[in-house]
Structure formats: structure tokens, C-alpha cells
Chains A and B, each alone.
Chain A
């Protein structure tokens, strides 16, 4: 009876048949009668004053149904973060000034693409060019062009300009810590600009009809989109419906409100017709949001045995022209620093700096790969300097179960020590480490190396909408309909939620139909962008099923003349343990409920919120307040091959040993791991958004090289199970969808060092950098 039948099993995707037949409807597949095409006029300058806009010619063009600028909005600003310290800083279209190339200035809706494009070309704008700034260090200097003069000064005591956000944290006494250290090292690491590479472009269809805005939009959470859209349109939430559509990948790039979403809505309201915007791939590369390159200045002190005693970090984020998630990433970078290792004295400063680059978005890992690359690289260097191996230094400092973190979070059953040990054993890392570096093979230019990186990730935190609800409606034949606001981006949310409900109600997967991600018909949901969907929405689903189950048991107990605790559920029947012949089908129990419980058709409600005693999310300024209930941990190893003649490096094999608590669906977990390894190897070796003076130079996948099937790495994984699932009980699952891009990036850097002796301080790990490093080594040896 306690045997799990659905949870913990690698069940096939619920949405799989729709996806392999072409039936799955993505936003680009939504067709409405009379639909107009929308297009956006974008800034050709990185920084300029808008002197005048003349729309008259565009408006007069045949086939043009609407043209809007900021004057057609209510002037309500929005932001990824909206707090008193960080008030919304972005208008829905540019007002008086543009601050990055591609910034949205005007939008048209027309009968077809050609007419819409022709109309854009008829809009006359006069600009007055302003001096731009692109380098965050220059942008911080006094006298540099100020991008948002009216922005609140968050670093008042400093002379810096353009500081959009600052996070400061620390504990202990770092000065004393460094004084007590036997070895201290300072390094600087830089990461580069990378993009999400979602295959489905950004698409929005909006239709204003009968005082209601119907929206289909590429998103990572319908309720967040609804809140932002309703706000900038000044509409009640009940007048905005974000419908379900399948999402063709997001990876962080489809969370925030985009200008085209406002434009689609506003133009539909003005024209009375549905309006569709599709961003071209060139627009996505040149004007939409990418990830966040961080500079990490890192000073670390250790004892002779490798025990960390003090660490000081200064992080600078080139945040682009609006705040976006820039102030979040400098908060998160602190969290990803402090979670895996015990550091008794730490000082942290993170700056998010406005520049005239495009605005930034969260990107899978959201700061974690950048800081883990820095910390794990430096840790290997330190280990070598003090003569201990990479495993020993990690085991000495890695968190152990039940540790309380500096922010009062608890790591609970942290499996990090176990992860490191298993990763070391499976790769035979200590024995292999240094082999090619110390005695290079003479008959080949290929050098092999192995490296390790670890990371820890949060599993859901408090940010709007903060909680998830789920409703289970029993049908009177015993099957069930599930209403959830969860959105399935490919990670498998609908499958996991169905597994949980099937388990709790002893139903088959096929007995359950799921209605998801529709703001009018499904309960509110946290969305698929805060790494907590399986934990938060999953527990809400479990509770909804438990609620329905309790109702079934009450009615069954009455009908069967036994107490509810004598009953169990099995395959749509309720059975007495003391007399298994005494049983009723769900159909009979639900009929009895309707007959005897005033028509109760058995509806289960569930809801969940992480950190229920915590009023709000932690402070982005000071890091005070709890961050998450469940920390995921992992140790990842990389085996690389480097050709010392060409400098080309390749990830040959990745191993991910991770503690996700308990995998609800191990097959889906494996899919997440393989995808993250692939994304990390793209970021390590292949991908870079190249810019010059604010213009993106590579605006297509021909020039921005994502991994193809030729760039696959062997990806092995092992689960460290630290939690359990029991029917009727809340459970703790841990994040598995984004943190695992982090340790592997660091592991690759460490493996390149192991193969060649070249220590890279910046991503990507290009042949040029590796060859340069090899030449420097040769010079030193001579």
C-alpha cells in the first residue's frame, strides 16, 4: 500500500503526443479572424534625445490600422523588480530619450507584414545624439554620461554614477580572517554575454473583445504577465486573460513584460481587432534581453589544511540600459557564493551598473555559473598552492546536513558531501588529476584533463505571485480534472503534477486531464521561473488531492459502516482493510456524496507557499531575510580534451551527481541535466553575443553558434536521494532545472587547467585564450 505507483517513476510526458504530432499550439499558431500584424520601430542609436516624432505619413498609409507611441499609454512604468528602493524604471515605449540600440519607440498594426514594415519606414524621427557608455567600470566613474538621472541614488556615499543597484552583505570579521589565514589569494574573473537561444521566437497575440483583453504570449508564468500587463494598461486583473499556449523554450528570457506585449494589447484596444507581434530572430539578438556578464573580484584566505577562513567578493554587473533583473543577479550571486561552503568571515559587495547596452534578463542559473566559475577556479588554484587535492579542499569546506546558513536558512538533509565523494569516485578524479599536465604524452597533441565544480541552488523563493493553488475536480465516473496555473516550458510540469495527483488518489495517469496556465480558469501559480514549481505547485497539487481524498473517505466510511482509518484507495476503489470484500467504487462514493452531502461533487483544493512564516522576499540591498526552504546541491565533473596545437578544447564527458531531494520523475530530471550540460558547453566553448558600441554584431544562429548534434557530450548522472515522498505528507524536492549549468562550467575550466596548465580567468574558453596561455607557459619554462 505504501508502494509508490507513479511518483518516483520515469513516466512519459503528458504533453508528449501533442508535441510529436504537431498538434501542440504555440503562440505563433494562434489564428484569429481579422488579425492584424504588428511591428515595432526601434532606436538606431545607443543613446539619444528624441527631438520629434512625425507619424502622419505612416498613419495615412493604406492598410495601416493603428500607430502608437508612448503618448498612447497611461505612462505607467514597470520593472522586473518593483520595490521602494528600486521603483519601476521603464516605460512601455521610449519617452523623450532612447538609452539602447533597439529600444522601442513606436508600433504599428497593419493588414499585413509588408504594409506594417512600410509604415515603420514612413515614421520620421529627429534625434539628438547623446554620449553613450558601455563599459561598467567607465559608467561608474564620476562624470560619465548619466543614463537615468532621476534614478534614486542607492550608493549615496560613493561618487559613482549609473549605479542601478547595490547588494552589501557579510558576517564575521574579514580583516581578522585574512590575518589568521596561512594563505591568501586574489583573482579577477570575467564572464561574457550569452543568450538564451529559445527556439520559439517571442510572439504575442492580443484581442480586446467585450471589455476583455485576451492574450496569448510566450511566457514563463501567466500570472506574472497578467499582473504586469494589467498594470501598464491600467486594467483590473479580471479584464486581462492570459491564455495557455505551449512555450518553445524560455531559459529565463520570457519572464518580464516586453514592450511588444503592451503594443499588441494597446493596438488591439484601439483598432478593435486582434493584433499579433512576432519578434524576428534578428530583433531577438539585437534588441531583446540576454544574460548578465559579471566581473568577480575574489579574495580568499585559507588555513594550511584548506579550511576557508575569509572571503571577500566585489561583483560588477553590466546591467544594460534598464534595471531588468540586474539588481537581482547581484543579490543572487551572494546566495550562490554562501550556500555551498562554510566561510566564517565574508564580505560581499555587488553593483549593478546601468550602461547603454540592451536590458538584461535572468538566464538559466542567474548568476550562479558566473560566481561558481570564479570560486571553484580559485579554489583549485589554492589547493594546488597549499598541496592538497581538489576533492580534499572541497570536502573540508562543504556544507553538512542541518547546518544553519548566515541568513538563518537551514540546509536540512544537504547531500553535498556525498555528491562530492561519489563524483570523485566515479571519475577516479584524484588518481587522474595532473596526469597529462605532469607527464604530457609525446605522440599526440591532445591533452586530457579532469575537473570538478560544485554548486547549490535555491528551490523557490518569495516573489510575486508568491504562492500556487491547485484544484482537483472529481468527475462522477471517478476520473479527475486538474486545474493548475503551472506552465510547462518543456521541463514537464504538467506530467509531474499529474503523477502526484495520480499517486494521492490512486488513479491512472490517463484518468487525469490537466487544464493549465490560464489566468481566468486556473488558480494562481508562482510560474516556472523561480525554481520552485515542483516543490511549491507540486505540494499544492498534493494537498488538493489529499483534500479530495479526505472527502471521498468520509463519504465511503459512512456508506461502508467503518471508520475512515480502516479504508484505503486502490485503483478507483475504496476498500476496507478489515474486510476487503467491503468496497465501493469512486463512482459509487461520488454518487453518495452528491446524494447525502448537499450535492458535494468532491472538489479538492490545495495551495502552497514556501517559507510560510516569512513575510516577504529577502532584502536585495542587505540580503537579510530568508531566501529558500530547500537547497539543491551538486558536484559535477568534466573530462576535456584540448588540442595544444590549435587550442581547441572539447567536453568529452560530464558527470552530474546531485541532490534534488527526491526525483518525482527521474527521466525528466535526466532531461534537465543533459540540457544544462549542453547549454554550459555552449557557453564554455561556442557562444558569445558580440557587441560594438551597443550594436550586436552577430544577429543570427550562423554567427552565434549554439551546440549542434556534433557538439554533444556524454552526460552521466547520479542521484543522491536525501528526502522521501509519502502519500498524504508534504515533501521537499529540490531544484534541478537551472543550477546545473554552474558547477559544470567551473569543472570545464578546471579540467582545461588540468590538461594544459593554462588557468583561464574569463569565459568563453576560446582557442585564442588557450593558445595564449600555452605560449606564456612556454616562456616561463625557458
Chain B
């Protein structure tokens, strides 16, 4: 019987794997991927970092957001081969060992995470925003997080987390 998988030839051509180098959270990685493999799959399956979440595989929910050279990027619709020699940062990059960073702490202080599934993507979008703009306005926050869906919080506590960490008068709500 015929065989239809990654080794199958299409129009006489076999899809060849490529060896890519990329930096993930400051570590150099060399991975071998088929050209069709998305960055999300490379991070989760090849590198083994599962903090980045897979919510829709179609670029609609933002759960898979990572930073590619500082730019928030939907890793589920970005080919891994596009990220050769790039610096990728994921949610696992934020804490220093057991020590959470101020943004992570602010999410806990405000109740900015409930089920937690959108949280890694939210945190990465917020990180990119704050690195460029340490005191974002409400409009800036809305613009930066508009691609990240959250079904649990109604967004209020997420906005407050960012206002807290950027020292704009919002105090921790939880003890």
C-alpha cells in the first residue's frame, strides 16, 4: 500500500528537512524540521518548551504569542524556517529561576490569570509592549493586547496588571 507522510514525494520532490539554528530564551538550539513545521510546533515538540499554548492553530486567539527579535509573533502561523538565526523568547524566559518578574507578580496581584491558558501569550504581548513603552496608556495597552483572547477575566484585571507594573497608580488587589 502507498505511503503518505512526511517522506512522501509530491510531484517527484521529497520535502527535505532543514537544520535551523535559533536562540531560544538565550540558549542556542539546532533543530531539524520539515519546511511546513510552524514555530509553535518547533518550540513545543522539538525544543520541548510547552509553556507556549496551542489554542486554535489559525492565528485567531494569541495563546501561542512569542517574541521573535522582540516582536510579538503568532507562532502557530509562523514557519519555523522563517526564524533561522532569530532570537525567540517564550514565557519560560520571564522568571529568574523561582523568582517571578514584576509583570508575572502583577498578574498574580491583580487576578490577571484564571484558567491560565491565555496567560503565556498575554505575558509575551505585554512584555513586548513594556519594553518599548514603560508607561503605556489604556489605548496603548488595548492596541498591544488586541490579538490575545481571554475568556475568563473580561480583561479588566489584565489591564490592571499592566498598569500596576508600569507604576500608574494601580495597587495590588490580592494578598
- In the bound assembly, the distance between CA atoms of A500 and B129 in angstroms comes to 39
- Shortest distance from the beta carbon of B10 to any chain A beta carbon, whole Å: 12
- In the bound assembly, the distance between CA atoms of A668 and B108 in angstroms comes to 11
A251 engages B151 (CB within 8 Å): yes
* Chain A residue contacts of B2, Cβ below 8 A: 61-62
Over the window 239-253 of chain A, the binary record of Cβ atoms lying under 8 Å from chain B Cβ atoms (1 yes, 0 no) is 000000011111100
B60 engages A709 (CB within 8 Å): no
Tell me, yes or no, whether B111 is within 8 Å of chain A by CB: yes
A713 engages B5 (CB within 8 Å): no
- In the bound assembly, the distance between CA atoms of A678 and B154 in angstroms comes to 5
Task: Tell which of A22, A247, A677 touches B154, judged by Cβ atoms closer than 8 Å.
Answer: A677
Chain B CB within 10 Å, residue with most, of A18, A25, A114, A713: A114
- In the bound assembly, the distance between CA atoms of A337 and B26 in angstroms comes to 58
* Chain A residue contacts of B104, Cβ below 8 A: 17, 20-21
A700 engages B114 (CB within 8 Å): no
B153 engages A16 (CB within 8 Å): no
Task: Tell which of B109, B118, B142, B173 touches A710, judged by Cβ atoms closer than 8 Å.
Answer: B142
With A16-B113, A57-B1, A60-B1 already in contact, the answer to whether A22 and B56 are too (CB < 8 A) is: no
Please, which residue of chain A has its CB at the minimum distance from the CB of B98?
A17
B156 engages A701 (CB within 8 Å): no
Tell me, yes or no, whether B50 is within 8 Å of chain A by CB: yes
Over the window 340-363 of chain A, the binary record of Cβ atoms lying under 8 Å from chain B Cβ atoms (1 yes, 0 no) is 000000000000000000000000
- In the bound assembly, the distance between CA atoms of A280 and B54 in angstroms comes to 10
Interface of A is mostly: loop
**In A58-77, which residues have CB < 8 Å from any B CB?**
60-63
Task: Tell which of B1, B116, B142, B147 touches A490, judged by Cβ atoms closer than 8 Å.
Answer: B116
Tell me, yes or no, whether A111 is within 8 Å of chain B by CB: yes
* Chain A residue contacts of B174, Cβ below 8 A: 10-13, 667
Tell me, yes or no, whether A112 is within 8 Å of chain B by CB: yes
A199 engages B55 (CB within 8 Å): yes
B100 engages A200 (CB within 8 Å): no
B151 engages A13 (CB within 8 Å): no
Tell me, yes or no, whether A731 is within 8 Å of chain B by CB: no
B61 engages A111 (CB within 8 Å): no
A674 engages B156 (CB within 8 Å): yes
- Shortest distance from the beta carbon of A278 to any chain B beta carbon, whole Å: 8
* Chain A residue contacts of B91, Cβ below 8 A: 20-22
A62 engages B158 (CB within 8 Å): no
* Chain B residue contacts of A676, Cβ below 8 A: 154
With A668-B111, A671-B111, A674-B153 already in contact, the answer to whether A111 and B5 are too (CB < 8 A) is: yes
B113 engages A281 (CB within 8 Å): no
Please, which residue of chain B has its CB at the minimum distance from the CB of A30?
B50
A199 engages B113 (CB within 8 Å): no
A26 engages B49 (CB within 8 Å): no
* Chain A residue contacts of B120, Cβ below 8 A: 22
* Chain B residue contacts of A707, Cβ below 8 A: 154-155
Task: Tell which of A15, A248, A489, A700 touches B60, judged by Cβ atoms closer than 8 Å.
Answer: A700
* Chain B residue contacts of A200, Cβ below 8 A: 53, 55, 115, 117
B60 engages A702 (CB within 8 Å): yes
- In the bound assembly, the distance between CA atoms of A11 and B174 in angstroms comes to 5
Please, which residue of chain B has its CB at the minimum distance from the CB of A200?
B117
Tell me, yes or no, whether A125 is within 8 Å of chain B by CB: no
Tell me, yes or no, whether A543 is within 8 Å of chain B by CB: no
* Chain B residue contacts of A489, Cβ below 8 A: 115
Task: Tell which of B61, B109, B114, B117 touches A671, judged by Cβ atoms closer than 8 Å.
Answer: B114
Tell me, yes or no, whether B77 is within 8 Å of chain A by CB: no
**In A498-545, which residues have CB < 8 Å from any B CB?**
none
* Chain B residue contacts of A63, Cβ below 8 A: 3, 5
A675 engages B151 (CB within 8 Å): yes
B49 engages A22 (CB within 8 Å): yes
**In B60-118, which residues have CB < 8 Å from any A CB?**
60-61, 63, 90-92, 94-95, 100, 104, 107-109, 111, 113-118
Interface size on A, residues (CB 8 A): 71
**In B108-162, which residues have CB < 8 Å from any A CB?**
108-109, 111, 113-120, 123, 141-142, 145-159
- Shortest distance from the beta carbon of B175 to any chain A beta carbon, whole Å: 6
A20 engages B155 (CB within 8 Å): no
Chain A CB within 10 Å, residue with most, of B94, B109, B141, B156: B156
- Shortest distance from the beta carbon of A125 to any chain B beta carbon, whole Å: 19
Chain B's interface size range is 35 or more
- Shortest distance from the beta carbon of B87 to any chain A beta carbon, whole Å: 18
- In the bound assembly, the distance between CA atoms of A98 and B95 in angstroms comes to 51
- In the bound assembly, the distance between CA atoms of A477 and B91 in angstroms comes to 35
A674 engages B157 (CB within 8 Å): yes
Chain B CB within 10 Å, residue with most, of A18, A21, A25: A21
* Chain B residue contacts of A667, Cβ below 8 A: 111, 173-175
- In the bound assembly, the distance between CA atoms of A9 and B3 in angstroms comes to 61
* Chain A residue contacts of B114, Cβ below 8 A: 249, 490-492, 671, 675
Tell me, yes or no, whether A198 is within 8 Å of chain B by CB: yes
B3 engages A61 (CB within 8 Å): yes
- In the bound assembly, the distance between CA atoms of A24 and B123 in angstroms comes to 15
- In the bound assembly, the distance between CA atoms of A10 and B109 in angstroms comes to 10
With A199-B118, A248-B53 already in contact, the answer to whether A709 and B155 are too (CB < 8 A) is: yes
Tell me, yes or no, whether B21 is within 8 Å of chain A by CB: no
Please, which residue of chain B has its CB at the minimum distance from the CB of A281?
B56
With A10-B174, A114-B4 already in contact, the answer to whether A20 and B149 are too (CB < 8 A) is: no
* Chain A residue contacts of B150, Cβ below 8 A: 199
B90 engages A706 (CB within 8 Å): no
Please, which residue of chain B has its CB at the minimum distance from the CB of A674?
B154
Please, which residue of chain B has its CB at the minimum distance from the CB of A713?
B154
Tell me, yes or no, whether A708 is within 8 Å of chain B by CB: yes
- In the bound assembly, the distance between CA atoms of A674 and B157 in angstroms comes to 9
Task: Tell which of B63, B113, B149 touches A19, judged by Cβ atoms closer than 8 Å.
Answer: B113
- In the bound assembly, the distance between CA atoms of A21 and B60 in angstroms comes to 23
B123 engages A199 (CB within 8 Å): no
* Chain A residue contacts of B151, Cβ below 8 A: 196-199, 249, 251, 675, 679, 706
With A19-B116, A248-B117, A713-B154 already in contact, the answer to whether A199 and B149 are too (CB < 8 A) is: yes
Please, which residue of chain A has its CB at the minimum distance from the CB of B139?
A710
* Chain A residue contacts of B54, Cβ below 8 A: 28, 201, 278
Please, which residue of chain B has its CB at the minimum distance from the CB of A712?
B155
- Shortest distance from the beta carbon of B17 to any chain A beta carbon, whole Å: 14
- Shortest distance from the beta carbon of B133 to any chain A beta carbon, whole Å: 16
* Chain B residue contacts of A491, Cβ below 8 A: 114
With A62-B1, A701-B149 already in contact, the answer to whether A12 and B141 are too (CB < 8 A) is: no
Tell me, yes or no, whether A715 is within 8 Å of chain B by CB: yes
With A17-B108, A710-B142 already in contact, the answer to whether A675 and B153 are too (CB < 8 A) is: yes
B56 engages A21 (CB within 8 Å): no
* Chain A residue contacts of B142, Cβ below 8 A: 709-710
Please, which residue of chain B has its CB at the minimum distance from the CB of A198?
B151
* Chain A residue contacts of B117, Cβ below 8 A: 26, 198-200, 248-249
Task: Tell which of B115, B147, B156 touches A712, judged by Cβ atoms closer than 8 Å.
Answer: B156
Please, which residue of chain A has its CB at the minimum distance from the CB of B1?
A60
- In the bound assembly, the distance between CA atoms of A248 and B35 in angstroms comes to 30
**In A214-270, which residues have CB < 8 Å from any B CB?**
246-251
- List residues of A whose CB falls within 8 A of some B CB: 9-13, 15-26, 28-29, 31, 57, 60-63, 111-112, 114-115, 118, 196-201, 246-251, 278, 280-281, 489-492, 667-668, 670-671, 674-679, 700-702, 706-710, 712-715
Query: 11 other contacts beyond A280-B57, A709-B146, with CB at 8 A cut-off?
Result: A13-B113, A16-B113, A17-B108, A19-B116, A21-B91, A22-B120, A26-B53, A197-B149, A667-B174, A701-B61, A708-B149
Sorted from nearest, which 6 A-B pairs have the closest CB atoms?
A22-B51, A248-B117, A678-B154, A490-B115, A19-B116, A490-B114
15 A-B pairs with C-beta separation under 8 A: A20-B123, A22-B91, A61-B3, A62-B3, A197-B151, A199-B53, A200-B115, A246-B116, A281-B57, A490-B116, A671-B157, A674-B156, A678-B153, A700-B58, A707-B154
